[in-house]
Amino acid sequence: MTPQSPDEHDIPATGKLTASQQKAVFHREGPLLVIAGPGSGKTRVITYRIAALVEAGVPAQNICAITFTNKAAEEMRQRAFVLGASAGAHISTFHSLCVRILRRYASVAQIDPNFSIYDDSDQTKCVKQAIADCGLDTSNFSPAKTLDAISTLKNKLIDAETFLTQADDFFSKTLSKIYSRYQQILTNLNALDFDDLLMKAAFLLEINADVRTDLGNRFKFLLIDEYQDTNHAQYRIAKALASTHKNICATGDPDQSIYRWRGADIRNILDFERDWPDAVIVRLEENFRSTPAILEAADRLIANNQSRKEKRLLATRPAAGDVAIEPYEDEQSEALGVAENIRRLTDQGVSLNHIGVFYRVNAQSRAMEEQFIRNKIPYQIVRGVEFYNRKEIRDVLAYLKVIVNPSDQVALLRVINTPARGIGKTTIDKILDYAGRANLTLYQSLLKVSEIGTLPESTKTKISQFVKLMEGFKQDANGPVEPLVERVFTESGLEKMLISEGVEGKDALENAGELISAAAVYDKQAETPSLVDYLQQIALFSDADAYDAASERVAMMTMHAAKGLEFDNVFIVGVEEGLLPHERSADNETEIEEERRLFFVGITRAKTNLRISFARYRQIRGQTLRTVPSQFLFELGLNFSESAPRFEILPDEVSTKAGENQQYEISNHQSSIINHKLSSPFQRGDIVVHQKFGIGTVREYTDMGDNSVVVVAFNSGQTRTLMTKYARLAKI
DNA sequence: GCGAGTTATGTTTTT
DNA sequence: CATAACTCGC
């Protein structure tokens, strides 16, 4: 929750619904879909509905709201609390909900409730093993690509057995083998990956009618935010959860779907009516967040997406602030420019937490950071997972994972010799060999170390000591987490190891301290704290969860992480071909459209001031390369201002022209770089005439295909940058 | 068994 | 360019 937004406590937006819409939104039983553009208060609709249901006598614990991030869940809980309806309502992400379900019905689902949740790097280790076990080479089957393929299958709820029956070509058959082996490894380690959480929960719900009924009774009203970004597994879970009562309320905006690459299926929202025939659809088209100029830019951009239902953003705010596009020489001067602009804002009394800087890829934060440090501008980089990815943190967590789930071999291998205790590769190989033959897990073999003949006595002693250490930790596994984390850190020797590193280990030591504090916070917040729950929760942390709206710092984040947030002042940097749209989506119009939606999300985060920038040169992989301004910039509609060199969007002037030409332009839209036209219609020195600005001389022409721009010095003294497709320039 | 140094590798977005 | 993976010498 943003303490700064004036609408914090009164939550006004949905008050602008018509009486009949309010009735439909708040009190309706049965399926309901709210299609709502950015800034229309759609998340508030859910909050209001929770409050309205409670007011109407529905016990809060019969309500289940699903959000996109843990952060959003937390905000919604607080908002619901303001409305007097928080106690007992289940508000969480899909993944957290699935963890809860899987733990609760563990015996029905035939899983051990102490399962570990495997992240990317854990998964990579397992899939590498799987590829090797299948006698394949990782040069033909790269772990990353294989994992991607498996993830896609899981998101579609195709399990290994099913896929085996479908696989008909060589690639699929091989993939199917790896998939099966990978699943087997995860099962042996009592681990689930992110996709498993959804898949297992979906299957449990679909196969087991008792569970379905049970949960249907528990959650009589289901509310889902950001429905446009649900994947097929989540869709099926939602369907099953609502199957008995049909009280499903989804909100979303197809134009803000930005997770297709992760399996999000936009059909979920488009086909809602078909799935729930008596669904009521409410559209919220008014925008209460942004100025007309910002919405104009966003509107024009998104109009370029062909696979889209026409939807306008209706501005309700009066004109204010400024929308500008600024070119810079390179990423340093871009960062400096942003820093200077921020300085200007703070001089006017703007507080830093009303400022957001967005970029396409995380790596872009570096140039920003350097300039911000130099200019003494406090900032926060919104990357929640970063902390938990640090070596020292992963080490501590690995100990904790083994305590909860001794089968977790990935975690065990991480800690068995960290800090070094004389249990090296040779020893581990011998134990693994024994484990394989005795059909035991690695940890079970450690317990029977005396029976492993191949090991020397001295090594056996070392292993026994390690086992004794771990078994000692287990005594404290129940109850509050913080004391155990502290104990593990000290008694494992990790603390001593870091202290001995001196200055080098200072940061790590501090981080470990922070982890202990975080555990204490968890202990306070959780109803019944337990180590399993703690570990399973932090495994589901996302970048966006790290955003601290209250702290007086500029927020820097990817546009993905910016989803659902809003700032008075927004900077979007690096809007260049190859970055936005990203090069990996360059050859595919569907992916370009997703990149466009991502930019749309970025733009519509801005309430008052929006500055979009690009650099003419940028360092990529150590090399400084010439860049090309993003095709999206030209789609916004450009015009040149007197105070060169600076582009400005002039909403009224260009918009009518853009409107007139839209039909034609869209059908003609092509990727500008690929279809580079050789015959330039304009050349430097050409004399041209413009309807409005009169006669001028061409200064510069940039061939961007359909989006070509021409810089013209008009005889009136003005120099303007015009898009050839809008400007209707005639050569004389 | 350990760690320093070298070489390969791979580069989006994230629950 | 940055990091991960790997090799080699102690």
Q: Over the stretch A248-259, which tens digit does the pLDDT of each residue have?
A: 999 999 999 999
Residue with tokens 């409670």: A54
Which tens digits make up the pLDDT trace of A621-657?
Answer: 777 888 888 889 988 875 533 333 444 544 333 333 3
> Protein A391 CA to nucleic acid C3 C1', in Å?
13
Helix residue ranges, H only, A669-730: 724-727
Q: How far is CA A673 from the centre of its chain?
A: 29
What protein residues sit with their CB closer than 7 Å to strand B? A 68-69, 93-95, 119-120, 142, 144, 194-195, 261-262, 360-363, 384-385, 417, 420-427, 459, 540-545, 558, 560-561, 582, 584-585, 621
Of A14, A43, A183, A409, the active-site residue reads A43
From CA A308, how far away is CA A230, in angstroms rounded?
18
> Protein A121 CA to nucleic acid B7 C1', in Å?
22
Count of CB atoms situated within 10 Å of the CB of A529: 17
Provide residues 98-127 of A with CB closer than 7 Å to any strand C atom. 124
Residue nearest to nucleotide B10 (CA to C1'): A621
DSSP-based three-state secondary structure for A435: helix
A226 labelled catalytic:
yes
Residue nearest to nucleotide C4 (CA to C1'): A121
DSSP-based three-state secondary structure for A79: helix
Predicted pLDDT of residue A645: 41
Report the nucleotide nearest the CA of residue A259, measured to C1': B13
A607 labelled catalytic:
no
Q: Which contiguous run of DSSP H or E holds residue A286?
A: strand A286-287
Report the nucleotide nearest the CA of residue A585, measured to C1': B12
Instruction: Transcribe A127-161 into DSSP letters.
Output: HHHHHHHTT--TTTS-HHHHHHHHHHHHHTT--HH
Asked if A417 CB < 7 A from strand C, the reply is no
Q: How far is CA A42 from the centre of its chain?
A: 19
Q: Which bases on strand B have an atom closer than 7 Å to a protein beta carbon?
A: 1-3, 10-15
> Protein A138 CA to nucleic acid B8 C1', in Å?
14
Residue nearest to nucleotide B1 (CA to C1'): A424
A570's tokens: 């927004």
Contacts of A649 (CB under 8 A, 6+ apart): A293, A296, A297, A323, A324, A325, A636, A637, A638, A639
Of A14, A42, A334, A593, the active-site residue reads A42
DSSP-based three-state secondary structure for A192: strand
Query: Can you say whether residue A467 is alpha, beta or left, with left for phi > 0 and alpha for psi between -120 and 50 degrees?
Result: alpha
> Protein A579 CA to nucleic acid B15 C1', in Å?
23
A42 labelled catalytic:
yes
Q: Which contiguous run of DSSP H or E holds residue A202?
A: helix A194-207
Asked if A621 CB < 7 A from strand C, the reply is yes
Predicted pLDDT of residue A2: 34
> Protein A408 CA to nucleic acid C4 C1', in Å?
23
Contacts of A651 (CB under 8 A, 6+ apart): A292, A293, A296, A297, A323
Predicted pLDDT of residue A225: 95
> Protein A458 CA to nucleic acid B14 C1', in Å?
45
Predicted pLDDT of residue A713: 74
DSSP-based three-state secondary structure for A642: coil
Predicted pLDDT of residue A49: 87
> Protein A390 CA to nucleic acid B9 C1', in Å?
21
Predicted pLDDT of residue A256: 95
Asked if A626 CB < 7 A from strand C, the reply is no
> Protein A711 CA to nucleic acid B2 C1', in Å?
64
DSSP annotation of A725 reads H
Residue nearest to nucleotide B13 (CA to C1'): A560
Q: Which contiguous run of DSSP H or E holds residue A513?
A: helix A506-525
Predicted pLDDT of residue A731: 72
Provide residues 312-371 of A with CB closer than 7 Å to any strand C atom. none
Roughly how many angstroms between the first and final C-alpha of chain A, as a whole number? 59
Report the nucleotide nearest the CA of residue A194, measured to C1': B15
A225 labelled catalytic:
yes
Can you list the residues of chain A whose pLDDT is less than 70?
1-21, 24, 85-86, 638-681, 691-694, 702-709, 716-721, 723-728
∠ at Cα A497 (A494, A502), nearest 5°? 130
Report the nucleotide nearest the CA of residue A428, measured to C1': B1
The pTM of the full predicted model, rounded to 2 decimals, is: 0.84
Predicted pLDDT of residue A203: 97
Q: Which bases on strand C have an atom closer than 7 Å to a protein beta carbon?
A: 1, 5
Please answer whether residues A465 and A421 qualify as being in contact, where contact means their C-beta atoms are separated by less than 8 angstroms.
Answer: yes
> Protein A111 CA to nucleic acid B2 C1', in Å?
39
> Protein A397 CA to nucleic acid B4 C1', in Å?
27
Helices (H) and strands (E) in chain A, counts: 32, 24
Asked if A619 CB < 7 A from strand C, the reply is yes
> Protein A358 CA to nucleic acid C8 C1', in Å?
45
Residue nearest to nucleotide B9 (CA to C1'): A139
Residue nearest to nucleotide B12 (CA to C1'): A361
Of A681, A652, A675, A651, the residue nearest A589 (C-alpha): A675
Of A256, A409, A459, A608, the active-site residue reads A256
DSSP-based three-state secondary structure for A65: strand
DSSP annotation of A319 reads P
Q: How far is CA A469 from the centre of its chain?
A: 38
Of A75, A193, A195, A225, the active-site residue reads A225
- Percent of chain A at pLDDT > 70 equals 86
Predicted pLDDT of residue A238: 97
Which tens digits make up the pLDDT trace of A661-691?
Answer: 222 222 222 222 222 222 356 777 777 777 6
Half-sphere exposure of residue A513: CA atoms within 13 angstroms, side-chain side: 8
Of A122, A193, A195, A226, the active-site residue reads A226
Count of CB atoms situated within 10 Å of the CB of A476: 16
